[in-house]
Structure 1
Amino acid sequence: MPNLSQLLEPQVRPALIKDLSEFIQQTVNEQSGISGMAIKGAVSTVTRVNSEIIPKGINQILPDMLGDLAPRWEEFEKSGAQDFGAFLEKDSDKVADAVMSTADRHAERINVTPLAKAYKSLRNKGAKIVEGKVPELGGILQNHMK
Structure 2
Amino acid sequence: MVAALNETLLDESRIPAVIADVQTLIDEEVSDKSGASGLALKGGYATVKKLGPTIVPAAIEGLLPEFVTKLEPYWQAFAASGESAFSEYLVARGDEVADSLLGVTDERIENSERTAIKKVYSTLRPSAKKNVIEALPRLGVLVQKHVG
Conserved? CA contact 1:45–1:114, under 8 Å:
no
SS in 1 for 2:111: coil
String of CA shifts for 1:30-49, please: whole Å, max 9, x gaps.
11122111111111111111
Q: Using the alignment, how far apart are the partners of 2:30 and 2:112 within structure 1?
A: 20
SS in 2 for 1:135: helix
Aligned partner of 1:65 in structure 2 is 67
Q: Structure 2: give runs of 5+ residues left out of the alignment.
A: none
The residue type equivalent to 2:108 in the other structure is H
The residue type equivalent to 1:3 in the other structure is A
Q: Using the alignment, how far apart are the partners of 2:136 and 2:126 within structure 1?
A: 16
TM-score normalized with structure 1 length? 0.94
Aligned partner of 2:99 in structure 1 is 97
Aligned partner of 1:4 in structure 2 is 5
TM-score normalized with structure 2 length? 0.93
Work out the number of aligned pairs and report it. Answer: 146
Q: Structure 1: give runs of 5+ residues left out of the alignment.
A: none
Q: CA RMSD in A?
A: 1.1
The residue type equivalent to 2:130 in the other structure is K
2:119 to 117, 120, 123: 117
String of CA shifts for 1:74-130, please: whole Å, max 9, x gaps.
111111211111111110111111111111111123332221101011112121111
